[in-house]
Amino acid sequence: MRQAHSEELAPLAPPLWRQLQACAGALQMVLEGKNHSHALAAVAPALRPAAQALLFAVLRHWETTQAVRDLLVKRAPSAPVNALLCTGLGLQLLGADAMYPVHTLVSQLVEAAKHHPKTRAQASFINACVRRFLREEKTLMNQALQGLSAQWNFPLWWIKRVQRDYPNDWQSILQASQQAAPLSLRVNRRKIGRDALQQQWAEQGMLADAVGEDGLVLRQAKPVQAIEGFAQGWCSVQDTAAQLAVPLLIKGLQVRHGDRLKVLDACAAPGGKTAHLLEYADAEVWALDIDVQRCERIQENLQRLGLQAKVVCADVADTPTWWTGQLFDAILLDAPCTASGIVRRHPDIPLLRRESDLPALVKQQKRLLDALWPLLAPGGRMVYCTCSVFRDEGQYQIDSFLARNTRAVLRPSPGHLMPSRAANPSGLLDNAVNSFDGFFYAVLEQRNADV
């Protein structure tokens, strides 16, 4: 019997033209307003990892890609043709040439066009555009990069807001936001010690660095389902900045009534901070979210970790519909925001977010703060946080809150954490440079009435 070669036994990767098609399909959905997770869910499982890698590379070059496309194309092509053309331009043609040899990309891009009924007739047009870019790259790039958006790959309104908020650091913040984030995990201390898990991983050749109280950051990212202990609930994916929320809320807090802390996690989905609360402290935790499906996601995550919370589907700010009247010792308000601080993990956010979204979100954050503050027991603690770099959603929001609430005291807080920086130099936090997503934290205490 002929012995099979190893390559005959190994599954073949989908051809590049199919990967490009999948990426273009997902990109078209993003351009129509869907987030990248929704768009990639529509991709066949075998193509999904490659499609995500390609899509993220395209999105990180999006503003430059648009500028170059506008120089190459006199009239806007159809949505499928535009998505496939921009997929090609946004990859090797705009700086990601380490992914594939450029001529391989061009030929496979044309092949992808020929294999789809909605792009087949425009295969020659796509071929002409990308080959013209190859011939005239220097001239076209010089023209495209005249615009500030194309230089930084962010919308102009976004750039101007970061410039306003951080006049000395705006370049580094934008640069860091366009870099791929490391894979950060939080160890479930109720199931395994962090040092023990780090050692087990090291013995398998998977190296990770300890960060914060419960975090491990992989030196080389890999699919979470391939990580030992993930399915068993030993760890969860969570950025190191997000892991700060629970220690800031719970550490040193005294029980005000009964024998367990009563804690509210407002706007809790998908449940990462709810789980961390239950791992970190012996507490009665309420997890609220307004969306039924997102509440189901909280339950699923808690089940994997072997944890239990009171999950309630409700509008957090409409307190008469869900609050029993018993005050909370601690409230975590991870408020809805622009998500401008997590672009390195979600590079579709600058494309999806609009400048007009910001005032509405600031209004919603104010509504939530004002609704939840009366639910906090005297001497209790609230942590307000957003995954945003914009000061309107952070420091300015808290300054306004403190001005209208004389019984609120701001305790030592991280404030704004930038993707390009470590924690503030006060020594309050201990983390590595560049390991954070952009976040804002304010620790508020309810002053006793007799003080």
Active site residues per annotation: 387
394/413 Cα distance (integer angstroms): 12
CB atoms within 10 A of CB 364: 15
388/117 Cα distance (integer angstroms): 41
SS3 call for 439: strand
166/156 Cα distance (integer angstroms): 15
153/165 Cα distance (integer angstroms): 18
Residue 328 host element (H or E): strand 328-334
**Based on C-alpha coordinates, what's the Rg of the chain?**
24
446/448 Cα distance (integer angstroms): 6
Query: Nearest-CA neighbor of 50 among 108, 123, 128?
Result: 108
Alpha helices in 376-449 (DSSP H): 395-404
Mutual angle of helices 79-90 and 102-114, in 10-degree steps: 170
Residue 409 host element (H or E): strand 408-417
Alpha helices in 190-271 (DSSP H): 194-203, 245-250
Distances (CA, A) of 194 to 25, 87, 140, 223, 243: 40, 41, 51, 20, 14
Backbone phi, then psi, for 11, in 5-degree steps? -65, 140
Contact status, residue 429 vs residue 414, Cβ threshold 8 Å: yes
Kindly state the tokens that stand for 43: 């991709």
